[in-house]
Structure 1
Amino acid sequence: ADEKSVDFTVVEPPSQDQTAPETSVKVEGDKNSDGAFITSARATVSATDDDSGVEKVEYSLDGGPYLAYTAPVIVDRVGHHTIAHRATDKAGNTSEAKKVSFTIAQGGGVPAPNCAEFDERHTVFVGTIDTGVPNRITRNRCTINELIEDEKDWSSHALFLKHVTAVLDKLKTDGVIDQRERKAINQAAKKSGIGKPGQSEGYTKLFDGTAASLAKWEQVGGGKFELNEEEGSITSSTEVEGMGMLWLPNRAYGDYSLKLQWRDDAPGSGNANGGVFVRFPKVHDHPEESRPEWVAIKYGHEIQVNDRPDGDMYKTGSVYGFDRVGLGGAGVTPKGTWNDYEIKVVGQHYEIYRNGVLINEFDNTGGQLFEPPRGDDPGTDGRRFASGYIGLQVHGVTDVISYRDIRIKEL
């Protein structure tokens, strides 16, 4: 047969794709003069890969699990936030995570998520049990704690466990928690006893963010609180001067767990000075004090709210005048974030929790004197009531502070 030939060329084998994709993020929204986004921000993540192409893009909000990025992320909780983002290409290369941080400031116009409760503690609690699981924001913008609803009335323990199981199954499907975390929360729910006899009653709202709820409270002395109905909060006035108190006159409470959220909204770089008054007598027509707001100051206990690094020695969690908590023990958080505050009063024993952490205990035994000395102060001998009223301090026009979700459970 005739000889035949074929021509061909040998080239270098194609190099394997070993380069990870590049990611970037653009955060958009209206900003205030401090550079914080007003009410909400939209984060758009993009990724490019010139070799094998982008397979998937992921993001993590505030240290939570990485979720698949499919659309711009809307962040609308007031406070400081961090978004981490990364991408994986079709060759399996995953980029190093990049981060962007920004702050959301109080504003109006965007409705808050429709959560059954407000609970932004750092970890997931079921009743009084700390699971250690991060209290992440879920896909519907509520935190895990807010979905568990351990503060509502449950007619039986079985119904509560059924509810928790359904919540956990959904969270695991969504990638918010893993199996280990699911087990930890489920075990805590079983141990909590919520719904069993003696534990079926939840917390009663004292202020729920509506005008009708606020109307049950009375302002005495100076200052004023303004209603922010869109976010269900009240904020102390920047125009009405003087120190005063907003108190709930409808009834006195004995032993209880009082829970609320507060936020330091002081202007500029300052910090607010505020407080929660407990166990004081009726403020009108008091035989020894004509100023209503001073009845609470002199004959009740003020649980301090003050994260200022200098100035007053009594920081957040202090029983003002009697039991000092320093800044290092106050559990300080970034200014502008909501803090969970619990004041538990049983007999003459006080416990103060900030974001689920016990930061102070105080025994209201007789014979203790107010410090620094105040001539007409009766000390603890004048404050040892078995029951009393509840109030919120307004300190002045620059001590701007907000409160919301005030509720109580009698013990």
Structure 2
Amino acid sequence: MEADAQRAGQTIPGEDWVQLFNGKDLSGWTPVGAESWSVESDGVLHGKGLTKAYGYLETNRDYKDFQLSLRFKCVGDGNSGVFFHTAFKPNSVDTTQGMQFEIDCTMMHHTAGVYAEDGRGWVVWPAPENEGVVRRGDWNDYFLEVVGNRYRSRLNGVQMVDYTDPKPGAPDGRIALQLHAGGEGNMQFKDIWIRDLSK
């Protein structure tokens, strides 16, 4: 099933796909940190940095194996990411586990690559010729897949990474949208759908 194509055509995915963001409010999500997360009248989820700290919006439940389809737009100069298998320390923006699929429109730097929050740092980058696939100031179609220790990403129809991690971290956890530290985070998201492959 080509979730990206369905996103572009604004058609509803099959019954095994579930709307993770309803376009109306933050039901099913919890802010982590002091940054601003709001839903605009056109169904866009808007994250905006207010402080110099990190900010996240995490799902209220854990996911193990899944496919995730969403659209994002980089409005400001900060970068972002889609975290998975994530957990946060109580009352903190510090993670205790997790990985992320990168979003960085400013420097065109490794968007759709995978970064580990366990101290390893980058585990896989896109090919150099694909670094310019991300579009700044316009909507980007993002398709992410996590099955066991295999991570795959597709950006604007281009396969970016397909990586099997020899040292995987936690087997499940929350999904979280990130605003990078520095106070310049300004990101928009919409059309967020998930297909749970764990069932």
TM-score, normalised to structure 1, is 0.42
User: What is the rounded CA distance, in whole Å, between the counterparts of 1:387 and 1:144 in structure 2?
Assistant: 26
Alignment of structure 1 residues 170-319 onto 2, 5 Å: 201=16, 203-211=17-25, 214-228=26-40, 230-249=41-60, 251-266=61-76, 271-281=77-87, 283=88, 289=89, 292-295=92-95, 298-309=96-107, 314-319=109-114
In structure 2, the residue matched to 1:179 is none
TM-score (normalised: structure 2): 0.82
Give the superposition deviation at 1:362.
1.9
The answer to whether the 8 A contact 1:223-1:241 is kept is no
Q: Does 1:386 align with 2:171?
A: yes
Give yes or no for the alignment of 1:359 onto 2:160.
Answer: yes
Once the two structures are TM-superposed, the CA of residue 237 in structure 1 deviates from its matched residue by 1.9
Unaligned regions of 5+ residues in structure 1, if any?
Answer: 1-126, 136-142, 154-200, 284-288, 367-379
The residue correspondences of 1:1-400 to structure 2 (distance < 5 A) are 127-128=1-2, 145-146=8-9, 149=11, 151-153=13-15, 201=16, 203-211=17-25, 214-228=26-40, 230-249=41-60, 251-266=61-76, 271-281=77-87, 283=88, 289=89, 292-295=92-95, 298-309=96-107, 314-320=109-115, 321=121, 322-325=123-126, 328-366=129-167, 380=168, 383=169, 385-395=170-180, 396-400=182-186
1:150 to 1:217, Cα distance in 2 relative to 1, 3 A: closer
Query: Which whole-Å CA distance do the structure 2 matches of 1:243 and 1:222 have between them?
Result: 8
Does 2:179 align with 1:408? no
The structure with more helix, counted as a fraction of residues: 1
The higher radius of gyration belongs to 1
Distance 1:129 1:257 in 2: 9
Give the number of aligned pairs: 190
Larger strand percent: 2
Which consecutive residues of structure 2, in runs of 5 or more, have no partner in the other structure? Answer: 116-120
Contact 2:44-2:189 at 8 Å conserved across structures: yes
Let me know the Cα RMSD of the aligned residues: 2.7
Q: 1:152 to 1:323 in 2, by over 3 A?
A: same
Q: Residues of 2 paired with 1:144 and 1:248: CA distance? A: 21
- Post-superposition Cα deviations, 1:206-247, rounded to whole Å, max 9, x if no partner, equal 102102xx133111124222221x221122225344212110
Distance 1:292 1:327 in 2: 35
